[in-house]
Structure 1
Amino acid sequence: MALRLRRTSAFLVAVTTMIAMLAGSAAPSPLYPVYRQLWGFSTFTLTVIFAVYVAALLAALLTAGSLSDQIGRRPVVGAGLVLLAAAMVLFIAAQGVGGLIAARILQGVATGLITGAVTAMIVDLQPHARAGALATGISPALGMAIGSLLSGALLQWAPWPRFLVFWILLAGDLLLALLVALMPPMPARRADHERIRFRTVLGSLRPSVGVVRAVRPAFLAQLPAVASTWALGGLYLALGSSIVAGLLGVTNHFYGAAVLAAFFASAALAAPVFRVLSESRRRPAGFGALGIGVLLTMVAALNHSLTLDIVGSVLAGLGFGLTWLTVMSVLAAATPAEHRGQTFAAVYVASYIAFSVPALVAGLAVNRLGMLPTVVGYACFDLLLVIAASVAAGLELRRRRRPIPAELSGETVDDLDEDPVDDLLIAAPMQPASCSSQS
């Protein structure tokens, strides 16, 4: 009799896979200043290294995001974990910028491949209602917080500081790949799935992005909020460690990583906070925390205050999470179920553009203007986006109060309390996936 994990154990493995995947995505960030000092590349080059990861992730997400619906969750997640392990090998072997770019590209492809499949796997295996929603809402940001802290701690105090974190992640990815192979089979969606599998797998790799006409006003109204959150997240991951070292004068790598962890950990806490807030308070709470947090981090940079920067990062992270979950819940409520996949794909295209392009511009600005003017300018830019998001939200709320088409009248934001879609990943790669079960 073949060895198989119990269902509850398999659920924990799936959640751990998501955490480990996002921990790996954040682990290089505390190392960026070390790489710059070692190999002498510019801040703009640093942001390019970050941007190629996002581009590779988005390409994989759009082409292979639904692959697990055709060939099963376990093969996709297992293959993605092996690719992640290979990316860790490239990080260990990197001897310059080219090696880092290659490692980041492979890591992005693997992350995009895994994200949709492991999210669906978590929901398939959840031991009780809402367990999957809670796990997918908290795990990504928690993983990035863990990855930042682990990398910073090892860089500061452990032997082989440039390599040890990647050896640990390499071992973890391979162990998780083995455990995924031992997961119990999940019931197929259709009796003829073996025939459908080979006939439709290539079709599933064709990108499908779009927003139906009835949803476009709501979609456009959310774009400023999407831009304000993800642009800030991109700055933290691409330049956060360099800002802490260059502007705040912090030479301890763990303290620098703590700033990143503060942002992502508070974003993880947004999921349970979102649940207890009424619909009318979610937006004001999110925009308020985001705006105040960005303002405090700007003041911290001007005054070289690590403490104030951590406080600002906590508030900004909480605002990020609340705002992002509100955006997704509003769009899920406004979109008929059969079109949600396309709508969410379009949201993620916009999100990852905001995640990478402003960070690239910031990297170029640092080379031309210096770190402090760039950080102040970026903060002002993000504050303007928060204001624009508030105005757009007010206008969109007025529109929603008008009579809506009969085909949409049965769905409201409150309906999402029974749907895991409102606990989508926070500040992390995510592709909404079918909740159907496949092995």
Structure 2
Amino acid sequence: MISVISQRSSLTFLVITVLTFLAASSAPTPLYQVYQDNLHFSAAMLTAIFGVYALSLLAALLTVGSLSDYLGRKPVIFAALLLNIVAMLLFINADSTVYLLAARALQGFATGTATAVLSATLLDTDRVRGPMLNSLAPMLGMASGGLGSGLLVEYAPRPTQLIYFILLGLMMLQAVYVWRLSETVSRIPGALKSLAPTLHVPSQARRALWLAMPLNVAVWALGGFFSSLAPSLVRVATGSTSHLIGGGLVAVVTLSGAVMIYSLRNRAADKVMRLSAVLMAIGVSLLLVAVQTASLWLFFVASVIAGFGFGGGFMGSVRSIVGLALPHERAGLMSAFYVLSYLAFCVPALVAGNLSRVFGLVVTTDGYAAVLILLAVGALGGQLWQGSARSRAAA
């Protein structure tokens, strides 16, 4: 039994560790322009460097996502920290795109491993606050990583290394401290068998999952765009060369998402999804206006509104499906959900990066935004139709 004091300490450590992993994941975003200027690579290579992270994260979710159920939480958290420590060392020494690709691939696998085990450990440690912390901590982590990296790049020395040295130090301390945690699960046989990639969506949750997908795809595709191409877009559209812009946009979107999650945490999932679809469509539409008018302030206003849709759409999608699975079906359902989500996170951004070589970044953004708006409007229509069907059934 975990004491109150040790439970509080454990929660604090776990939240800080989640923040560190997600901060590291968004730290390269403000540096992409620096890397492009120094290493002279294209927007397509930039999205490849971004995309390999998401694909590696997917691979981790599919293979080692449930490993901690068999080996225990602490060894898997420790292994994820070690992998990310090596990734930070690769970033620190990166002098070519090969280093950047390797660093992002390793970082993606480490983050995917950590996402699964840290989420489970938070729920093990506190069933009441765990779900909320699981939703808020990643958002706050991405915001702090993007904004903190942008500030260091703009005002501190050694812009391509300092943020990684700071993260490296935090991870080394966490790798030592993790062994002080109380283990929350017992070791059981079957670890090797659990590595086989599997996806399972319970039959009773399939309809809700597909109804949630249009909005969820729009949400994650928006996140992928802001994490990869948005800093370059601001530079092209407005001429701004500040490295704070890229990190600032990521911070604005994720912090707005966190505000939305906390504010609507007690609202029904269908109402949250309807509101989020509207906010997503409005925010992305304003983003198009910002591009055409080269308005930097409107970029940030649009990012706030789109961020509300981002956070609410994510929370509403999860809540609309997770209650439909039996306890032994939840892991499979959430694995399927996150696989679809991370495919939406990386594939559209990779396609956009390649299309930008042919059509230019502004025209590509117009098309990307149009697809997001159509998905949001389609999601709103689906939710309204579902609500109407429920009303007719009740009558």
CA 1:9–1:262 in structure 2 vs 1: closer, same or farther (change >3 Å)?
Answer: same
Q: Is the contact made by 2:278 and 2:380 (CA closer than 8 Å) also made in structure 1?
A: no
* SS of equivalent to 1:353: helix
Deviations 1:59-115 (A, max 9, x none): 011111111111111111111111111100001111111110000010011111111
In the TM superposition, residue 280 of structure 1 has moved relative to its aligned partner by 5.3
Q: Is the contact made by 2:29 and 2:246 (CA closer than 8 Å) also made in structure 1?
A: no
Matched, 1:77 2:74: no
Which moved further from structure 2: 211-220 or 6-15?
A: 211-220
Aligned partner of 2:209 among 211, 219, 226: 219
| Greater helix share, structure number | 2
Aligned partner of 1:393 among 372, 383, 386: 383
CA 1:203–1:402 in structure 2 vs 1: closer, same or farther (change >3 Å)?
Answer: farther
* SS of equivalent to 2:279: helix
Higher relative contact order (CA 8 A, sep 6+): 1
Match of 1:431 in 2: none
Map 1:155-234 to 2 at 5 A.
Answer: 155-186=153-184, 188-189=185-186, 193=187, 196=188, 199-234=189-224
CA 1:215–1:34 in structure 2 vs 1: closer, same or farther (change >3 Å)?
Answer: same
Find runs of 4+ consecutive structure 1 residues off by over 6 angstroms. none
Q: Which runs of 5+ in 2 are unaligned?
A: none
Q: Is the contact made by 2:31 and 2:153 (CA closer than 8 Å) also made in structure 1?
A: yes
Letter in 2 for 1:145: A
Match of 1:383 in 2: 373
Match of 1:309 in 2: 299
Match of 1:24 in 2: 24
Match of 1:132 in 2: 130
Deviations 1:227-250 (A, max 9, x none): 111111110001121112221222
* SS of equivalent to 1:207: coil
Letter in 2 for 1:287: A
Match of 1:240 in 2: 230
In the TM superposition, residue 392 of structure 1 has moved relative to its aligned partner by 2.2
TM-score (norm 1): 0.85
CA 1:279–1:260 in structure 2 vs 1: closer, same or farther (change >3 Å)?
Answer: closer
In the TM superposition, residue 213 of structure 1 has moved relative to its aligned partner by 2.7
Match of 1:8 in 2: 8
Matched, 1:330 2:328: no
Q: Is the contact made by 1:84 and 1:110 (CA closer than 8 Å) also made in structure 2?
A: yes
In the TM superposition, residue 125 of structure 1 has moved relative to its aligned partner by 2.2
Q: Is the contact made by 1:8 and 1:125 (CA closer than 8 Å) also made in structure 2?
A: no
Match of 1:95 in 2: 95
In the TM superposition, residue 303 of structure 1 has moved relative to its aligned partner by 0.8
TM-score (norm 2): 0.94
Matched, 1:284 2:284: no
Q: Is the contact made by 2:269 and 2:320 (CA closer than 8 Å) also made in structure 1?
A: no
Letter in 2 for 1:269: V
Letter in 1 for 2:139: A
CA 1:39–1:75 in structure 2 vs 1: closer, same or farther (change >3 Å)?
Answer: same
What's the Cα RMSD here?
A: 1.8
In 1: Cα distance, 2:332 partner to 2:182 partner:
30
In 1: Cα distance, 2:162 partner to 2:94 partner:
14
Q: Is the contact made by 1:247 and 1:371 (CA closer than 8 Å) also made in structure 2?
A: no
In the TM superposition, residue 160 of structure 1 has moved relative to its aligned partner by 0.6
